[in-house]
A and B are shown apart, each in its own frame.
Chain A
Amino acid sequence: MNEHLLELRGISKSFSGVEVLHEVSFTLHPGEVHALLGENGAGKSTLVKIITGVHQPDKGEILLGGEPVHFSDARDSRQAGIAAIYQELSLFPDLDVAENIFAGRQPVTLGGRVDWRKLYAEAGKLLDSLGVKLDLKQKARTLSIAQQQMVEIARAFSINAQILIMDEPTSSLTLHEVDDLFRLVRRLRAEGTAIIFISHRLEELLALADRVTVLRDGSYVATHPMKEVTRFGLIRMMVGRTITDLFPKQDVTPGEVVLKVENLTRAGSFYKVSFELRRGEILGLAGLVGAGRTNVARAIFGVELPTAGRIQVEGREVRITSPQQAIELGLAYVPEDRQLHGLIPAMHITSNISLPMLAHYARMGWLRDTRERKSAYEAACQMDVRANSIWQLARELSGGNQQKVVLAKWLSTQPRILILDEPTRGIDVGTKAALHALMSKLAAEGIAILMISSELPEILGMSDRVIVMREGRVTGAFSRAEATQEKIISAATQDVATIGITL
């Protein structure tokens, strides 16, 4: 029994009616690095927050050293010796580096006075041991993303926890920094600390972890010693299927160029991006998260204004300054974050679908319900949205159906250029296949599609051509015949050793 430092039994958790975790179990031994693996939306981050007491489970129990525990907030879990780095950066932008490391538990003198000298000394020592050079008095607001990540790591290490949870700690670090981090993780492991490590970079996990637990769609799949599994075995467990038979892209002879982007630049996020998109073509845009792909899409759609470069739509040079203008030019953009940018969850399906085209359903600003309802109904049927009626609220739908509503909204504008940003993220397998079939059909009808995806099989299976971005620049362009997993990965990462998000 003593073998389990931490044990989770049958943990379930729902947010506003959507079950995110279903009966998940998990064990952690002292002195091991335990990888937690799963696709986006598999429930890893929620599990982390349940262990640290930020969320409370609806069902199930947590045992620490064999004793059931109940954490009502992060302070409780910290006192029990659990520290975490969360996936979303959680620094205080107005506080300086040193204080960010010790926020909420600054060293104090006997009289209860914050001991700033000791705080800075300890923060300096800690950063030295991590091999990081940072100005301790710099405000976190002014740090780069990688620097912020290092501060988060330093904070987690400073707690001297018996359980350390790291959710995507390396997503924006360079190889050299990752090496330093791993050295530290190994040292902690040798000292008996148990570490839960979450990463999308499979090679990292294969090199570092002792055991691996796989989650899929909020459910527990399996736990294995790392030595006994292969990369492809892991992928199969995560995806739950073999990944070759999903992509039915029909061959279409591409037509004329409808979108031409030349040296498009937005200082700070991407530089000199150029590509052409033709009628009936699917152009895959691959790369790691944070490579600037979404920023390019937003710039084309008029949400973020580019600082230099040119855009031509159907041969005419345009300057797109608002989504409104983009829509008039025949563009549509299905954004990456459905909840934040795609849907209005508290409104019903009809209003969601009709929003960009409201002017067409109205006379002098006066809404004509019948026309709106008819069009929304047709669009919903075309997309095969599963719901009680088109008057159901969008937030009550499943992820796949929500995505269909967003697509229905954009298809009702009859776009000629469709930008899809991670179109199948967090969507069940059945809907995914349906969406792929739809994309293929739309391309065959002559729509030009720019598809941003972090899933390599999707990129390889659906794209007529592939371009790859890394750190804000285009680093590779391949035809369908040329494109291979290895080529795309090496263009997306500086080194072949780091495997990107190949899942």
Chain B
Amino acid sequence: MTAQNPPALGTSPATRRNLLWTLVRFREAGISVFILILVVAITLRSPSFLTVDNFEDILLNISILTIVALAQAMVIITRGIDLSVSSMIGLVAMMVAFVVKEHPEMPVLFAVPLGMALGAVLGTFNGLIITFGKVPPIIATLGTLSIYRGLVFFYSQGTWINSFELPRSFKLLSKGTPLGLPNMVIIAIVVAVVVYYFLNYTRTGRDIFAVGSNPDAAQFAGIRKQRITFLVYLISGLLTGLAAVLWASRFESAQTNTGLGFELQTVAAAVIGGVSTSGGAGTVPGVLLGALLLGIIQNALPLVHISPFWQLAIQGVLILVAVVTDNLIVRRAQRTRK
């Protein structure tokens, strides 16, 4: 506001707002454009990329990532982080696989609620330490990352569960196609829709954004910060439990190192998809695009004859690019406010 002509309230010039609007929306638009360019470039090098089969393969590959990345996004929106998801996957996958193996008579669908319940317990533990113990999320989940992984070894005594030990129906749980698409892809889509509805159409969902956007103001507004924080870690455990069951079913095994390092991919998908690590901002479509981008890169590297060893390095660069651009956008937006 300048002294000579203080703009009257509400008269934000249309041009300026449109610019800001595009900047705010920039993330989904930008990442979409990037994906398009990538797809064109890869197809030029390797025409087999742009086929229905390959695309289905990509969807299959990113289903699990999408589910966990959505959970991770909710946690990051509250200014937290859940690094323990990979170990939760390992532990829940192992426990569920054992039960399925030992009790083949059990209806296989029962594995899903079982996995989600086990995940929810682990998420509850994270949530309790963070909200009531006031341990910073990064430290708490680093700790449980190692605790849960340790429990996997303790549980299995180092043994693995292999494909032949699992009933066929369990393996089909993720890959069967009674509805045209693989079940797993449909489950991921359902989760995305539910999370979208939850975040945008329920008070609790909106409270998640409020707490992340300004924790003190949330308290002034009567929002129970502790409860919301606890809830996101609980949900994170719940969805990760679901992902763990799908993981065991898809890869037809449970090993002591199942899911190792996966936490990074979930954070990457969320951050690349525009979830702000300073809290308060993030969208479901953004996270989906982030996961899709990672899936495409993973799928395309062998097709264009780049060593798959590049994948991790590319992920790292993408995360850095995402946070740096975010930072620049926020700074720009704050400058234009004046």
Find out whether A and B make contact in their complex, taking CB atoms under 8 A apart as touching: yes
Residues of A within 8 A of B (CB): 52, 54, 73-76, 78, 84, 86, 88, 90-95, 99, 103-106, 108, 112-114, 116, 132-135, 138-139, 141-147, 150, 174, 177, 267-269, 271, 470-473
Asked if A142 and B20 make an inter-chain contact with CB atoms under 8 angstroms apart, the answer reads yes
Nearest residue (CB) in B for A134 is: B10
Choose among B206, B218, B337 the residue that contacts A99 (Cβ–Cβ < 8 A): B206
Cβ of B15 within 8 Å of any chain A Cβ, yes or no, is no
Say whether chain A's binding surface is mostly helix, strand, loop, or mixed.
Answer: loop
Asked if A90 and B10 make an inter-chain contact with CB atoms under 8 angstroms apart, the answer reads no
Give 21 pairs: A residue, B residue, CB < 8 Å, sorted on A. A73-B219, A74-B219, A74-B221, A76-B222, A84-B220, A92-B209, A93-B280, A94-B281, A95-B210, A95-B213, A103-B206, A104-B218, A105-B221, A114-B201, A141-B333, A144-B337, A145-B1, A147-B10, A267-B338, A268-B335, A472-B2
- In the bound assembly, the distance between CA atoms of A150 and B8 in angstroms comes to 12
Q: Collect the chain B residues with CB atoms within 8 Å of residue A271's CB.
A: 2-3
- In the bound assembly, the distance between CA atoms of A177 and B6 in angstroms comes to 13
- In the bound assembly, the distance between CA atoms of A253 and B109 in angstroms comes to 92
Nearest residue (CB) in B for A76 is: B222
B331, chain A: closest CB distance, angstroms:
11
Cβ of B203 within 8 Å of any chain A Cβ, yes or no, is yes
A107, chain B: closest CB distance, angstroms:
10
Asked if A134 and B220 make an inter-chain contact with CB atoms under 8 angstroms apart, the answer reads no
Nearest residue (CB) in B for A94 is: B280
B150, chain A: closest CB distance, angstroms:
36
Cβ of B223 within 8 Å of any chain A Cβ, yes or no, is yes
Q: Collect the chain A residues with CB atoms within 8 Å of residue B333's CB.
A: 141-142
- In the bound assembly, the distance between CA atoms of A471 and B2 in angstroms comes to 7
Q: How large is the interface on B (under 10, 10 to 19, 20 to 34, 35 or more residues)?
A: 35 or more
Nearest residue (CB) in B for A143 is: B337
A500, chain B: closest CB distance, angstroms:
16
A47, chain B: closest CB distance, angstroms:
15
Asked if A73 and B3 make an inter-chain contact with CB atoms under 8 angstroms apart, the answer reads no
Q: Collect the chain B residues with CB atoms within 8 Å of residue A472's CB.
A: 2-3
Nearest residue (CB) in A for B24 is: A139
Cβ of B334 within 8 Å of any chain A Cβ, yes or no, is yes
Choose among A94, A104, A106, A138 the residue that contacts B222 (Cβ–Cβ < 8 A): A104
- Mark interface residues in B1-21 (1 if CB within 8 Å of A CB, else 0): 111001111111000010010
- In the bound assembly, the distance between CA atoms of A116 and B333 in angstroms comes to 26
Asked if A133 and B10 make an inter-chain contact with CB atoms under 8 angstroms apart, the answer reads yes
Q: Collect the chain A residues with CB atoms within 8 Å of residue B276's CB.
A: 94
Cβ of B163 within 8 Å of any chain A Cβ, yes or no, is no
B73, chain A: closest CB distance, angstroms:
14
B302, chain A: closest CB distance, angstroms:
39
Q: Tell me the residues in window 238-278 of chain B with beta carbons closer than 8 Å to chain A beta carbons.
A: 276
Asked if B217 and A91 make an inter-chain contact with CB atoms under 8 angstroms apart, the answer reads yes
B27, chain A: closest CB distance, angstroms:
13
Asked if A104 and B3 make an inter-chain contact with CB atoms under 8 angstroms apart, the answer reads no
Asked if A54 and B201 make an inter-chain contact with CB atoms under 8 angstroms apart, the answer reads no
